């Protein structure tokens, strides 16, 4: 399993207004695409039901996704903030 660091590179993009997380995040997934999808799911992008809406975490134009080979302390499916706290809004009410 790989660990990827995702960084906002276009913080002014309109898609960020719908993301619960807007800062650097790490994700443990097999591929960069899987890492992006995992972060989009765990941050519970609130506009997924809107036609054409896309999580900023899935958009290469607004978020980078870089392999972090020196990191080994995360388990598959983990998403964490810079302070190490977990990110998982999947069980939280959308309101």
Is residue 53 very low, low, confident or very high in pLDDT (cuts 50, 70, 90)?
confident
H/E element, 34:
helix 32-42
Task: Give a yes or no: residue 75 inside a domain.
Answer: yes
For the cut 80, the answer to whether the pLDDT of residue 79 exceeds it is yes
Computed on alpha carbons and rounded to an integer, the radius of gyration of the chain in Å comes to 12
Cα(60)–Cα(74) distance, integer angstroms: 23
Residue ranges making up the domain that contains 23: 2-81
Would residue 24 count as lying in a domain? yes
- Residue 95: inside a domain: no
Q: Total domain count for the chain?
A: 1
Which pTM value belongs to this model? 0.87
Decide if 91 is inside a domain. Answer: no
Residues 34-50 have a mean pLDDT of 81
Q: Is residue 68 over pLDDT 90?
A: yes
Residue 70 lies in a domain: yes
């Amino acid at each position: 399993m790989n660990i990827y660091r995702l960084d906002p590179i276009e913080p002014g993009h309109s898609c960020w207004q719908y993301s619960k997380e807007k800062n650097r995040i790490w994700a443990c997934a097999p591929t960069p695409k899987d890492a992006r999808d995992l972060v989009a799911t765990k941050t519970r992008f609130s506009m997924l039901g809107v036609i054409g809406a896309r999580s900023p975490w899935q958009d290469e134009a607004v978020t980078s996704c870089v392999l972090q080979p020196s990191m080994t302390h995360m388990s598959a499916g983990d998403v964490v903030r810079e302070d190490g706290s977990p990110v998982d809004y999947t069980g939280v009410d959308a309101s």
